[in-house]
Structure 1
Amino acid sequence: MRYQDVIPEQAQSTILCTVNFKKDVDTSVIVDTFRDFCERLHPTMNSMKIRFPYDNFKFAMGIGADAWERLFPLSEKPKELARFSEIKGKEKTAVSTEGDLFFHIRADKMDVCYEMMLIIHKLLKDVIDPVDETHGFRFRDGRAIFGFVDGTENPDIEEAQDVVYIDDENDPYQDGTYVLAQKYTFDLDLWETLTIEQQELVVGRTKEYDLELSDDKKPSNAHTEISKAHDRMGEEVKIMRANIAFAEPSKNIFGSYFLGYSKDFSITLQMLQHMFEGKDSDSHDSILDYFSTVSGNLFFVPSYEQLDKIATGEIK
């Protein structure tokens, strides 16, 4: 096993969990506990996939910048790993929140996700404090919480590895990746005041058949248009993204957990800047009129080779 499971295939159930290392526990104890966890991770993945062979089990863990500095002060950080900085536009803000470790667990049954989360709890409970745990679900036929098909703009599986995994042979963290994790709440009542045609103008695609609107109909601040990123030559560049639906309808809580995996965080950052700060004459992505950010942080997802180096103390 070379890579962690960071290419987000659709699964029926998801647990997304962010934790912090305890402030009042000696760092040496945390380091020893975390090294032990990393040593167990590979065999745990093998065991889970043997035990639940038909449940599409996938797992990835990311490490935040503050945690890296605390755990491995003698080792170079991944070059783009930093605490996510707030992006404040004229009307909307992408908030920055804390988080030392991030877990992305998915399977076709929630009890399989629970099993993995329970293992994490048993191994790390003495050194971590919870920040957030969100349970997501596959919504209808793979749609985001606002009712449109999710993942249409993602690269296909054959292209995904080139987009996601660091491929620079001179980078000590080759085969790892970066993930931006953002939790959004969604104003369903306000969204439902729009007609389907109005919703389609906000998103830039048709709702029923997931067809992109023609250029003469699609507004420049439609989500699928303004959120694009481009290289210096003007060519569109992509990341792997997922929007995991979550909800507590009895509390009128609805939301979407956004994950953006990329070998180059600057691509994801450009997308966010367009969405929140605007582009050309547009002040922001029009879909943000119905969403508010609750959290936002950047994590580095090591390869299994790098997890082994953490376990053995080679990353110090």
Structure 2
Amino acid sequence: MTGHAWDRVPIAAQSVEAPLSQAAIFLVLGVNDGTDAITRVRDTLGGIDDLVKTVGFRDLSARLSCIVGIGSALWDRLGEPAKPCELKSFVAIEGTPHKAPSTPGDLLFHIRAERPDICFEFERILLGALGPAVTTIDEVSGFRYFDARDLLGFVDGTANPEGHEIGEAALVGEEDPDFAGGSYVVVQKYLHDLAAWGRTSTALQEEIVGRTKIDNIELDDAAAPRKSHKTLATIVDEQGNEHDILRDNMPFGRAGYGEFGTYFIGYTRHLWVIEKMLERMFIGEPAGAYDRLLDFSTAQTGTTFFAPSRSTLAKLAADKS
């Protein structure tokens, strides 16, 4: 496997760098009150790697993986002496006319595989192990749509970093050595108005997204009166350095209920990068020139987690104090 992108990410990290899969489950849970609940959660987290092996062994080609994210409030409840320096609850963004809500969540399980039944089986056993310790807040089953397109018809995730750039973009480094190898994770569930989007001309859709629809060619909007989604989601600091994030967005939907969406999940070394990206989208750059994609896509959730390195996760699981 030498030469693949995921070989060059520090081994201490969880499977943040796992390649895009055909299926995924995004499971957000709340941890119930009481020391028994905390103890059961610790015990279950300690067995995550073994559970991945147990279920994944049924079909190794399915490449089952699971990333565990821990919310700020739960981290405080665990009573650890240290906390990732940027970890906090998702801050709601009050744009005009669109808003990014903040919704609760103590645990995130990002379950990925090439087969949806493998994802389902892992989730079923996982929830059985957690039992009464948790309450399900949100559960979304995602699928890969044709050539990695979203339900709006555009290729998604084109700007993802590759190779050694994955670690630089997604994994904490020397700036917070106690939590090196971890990653901040932001999730949002968006619902699309496909009927309104379908009434929009392809030319305007491309102007809004910032790429051509058929062949995914990036469009230059430097002289445009309104910036595209692509441009607003590109973060450059005061020194002119561009900061990437690692996305593994997935479409989801229930056509019989008229529900069509995209589940956004972003992994980042610095939480402020995603915060700045969402601020530019919902408030605008300049203010008022918001991301016009939001006229068709409504954010339903917004939650922040930290996915610790494997060694840190093992320590959290073992610490029963």
TM-score above 0.5, yes or no? yes
State the alpha-carbon separation in 2 of the partners of residues 282 and 203 from structure 1: 17
Task: State the Cα distance separating 1:219 from its structure 2 match.
Answer: 5.6
One-letter identity of the residue aligned with 1:83: S
* CA deviations over 1:141-189 (Å, ceiling 9, x no partner): 1111211001111111331112111111752111111100101111000
State the alpha-carbon separation in 1 of the partners of residues 18 and 195 from structure 2: 29
Matched, 1:76 2:82: yes
**TM-score in terms of structure 2 length:** 0.92
Matched, 1:187 2:193: yes
State the alpha-carbon separation in 1 of the partners of residues 250 and 225 from structure 2: 25
Relative to structure 1, the CA distance from residue 170 to residue 286 in structure 2 (aligned partners, 3 Å threshold; closer, same or farther) is closer
151-160 vs 191-200, greater mean Cα deviation: 151-160
State the alpha-carbon separation in 1 of the partners of residues 134 and 254 from structure 2: 26
2:37 to 27, 30, 54: 30
The SS at the match of 2:179 is coil
Instruction: Spell out the pairing of 1:20-59 with structure 2 (5 A cutoff).
Output: 20-23=30-33, 26=34, 28-59=35-66
274-283 vs 80-89, greater mean Cα deviation: 274-283
4+ residue runs over 6 A deviation? none
Is the 1:138–1:244 contact (alpha carbons within 8 Å) kept by the matching residues of 2?
yes
Is the 1:204–1:219 contact (alpha carbons within 8 Å) kept by the matching residues of 2?
no
Is the 2:105–2:303 contact (alpha carbons within 8 Å) kept by the matching residues of 1?
yes
210-219 vs 170-179, greater mean Cα deviation: 210-219
Matched, 1:277 2:283: yes
Tell me the residue number matched to 1:2: 12
- Structure 1 runs not aligned, ≥5 long: none
2:28 to 11, 14, 18: 18
2:173 to 152, 164, 167: 167
216-225 vs 56-65, greater mean Cα deviation: 216-225
Is the 2:31–2:106 contact (alpha carbons within 8 Å) kept by the matching residues of 1?
yes
Identical-residue share of aligned pairs (%): 33
Is the 1:8–1:242 contact (alpha carbons within 8 Å) kept by the matching residues of 2?
no
Relative to structure 1, the CA distance from residue 159 to residue 121 in structure 2 (aligned partners, 3 Å threshold; closer, same or farther) is same
Tell me the residue number matched to 1:150: 156
Tell me the residue number matched to 2:202: 196
Is the 2:221–2:227 contact (alpha carbons within 8 Å) kept by the matching residues of 1?
no
The SS at the match of 1:9 is coil
The SS at the match of 1:211 is coil
One-letter identity of the residue aligned with 1:221: K
Matched, 1:134 2:163: no
Matched, 1:95 2:121: no
Tell me the residue number matched to 2:182: 176
Task: State the Cα distance separating 1:280 from its structure 2 match.
Answer: 2.1
One-letter identity of the residue aligned with 2:38: V
- Structure 2 runs not aligned, ≥5 long: 1-10
One-letter identity of the residue aligned with 1:97: T
2:123 to 117, 127, 131: 117
240-249 vs 279-288, greater mean Cα deviation: 279-288
One-letter identity of the residue aligned with 1:55: A
One-letter identity of the residue aligned with 2:20: Q
Relative to structure 1, the CA distance from residue 80 to residue 281 in structure 2 (aligned partners, 3 Å threshold; closer, same or farther) is closer
The SS at the match of 1:59 is strand
One-letter identity of the residue aligned with 2:27: C
* CA deviations over 1:60-101 (Å, ceiling 9, x no partner): 0101111111122x4222111111110111211110000010
205-214 vs 161-170, greater mean Cα deviation: 161-170
Task: State the Cα distance separating 1:102 from its structure 2 match.
Answer: 0.7
Task: State the Cα distance separating 1:8 from its structure 2 match.
Answer: 5.7
State the alpha-carbon separation in 2 of the partners of residues 145 and 168 from structure 1: 39
Is the 1:11–1:138 contact (alpha carbons within 8 Å) kept by the matching residues of 2?
yes
The SS at the match of 2:112 is strand
Relative to structure 1, the CA distance from residue 174 to residue 222 in structure 2 (aligned partners, 3 Å threshold; closer, same or farther) is same
State the alpha-carbon separation in 2 of the partners of residues 39 and 154 from structure 1: 30
**TM-score in terms of structure 1 length:** 0.93
Query: What RMSD, in angstroms, separates the aligned Cα atoms of the two structures?
Result: 1.7
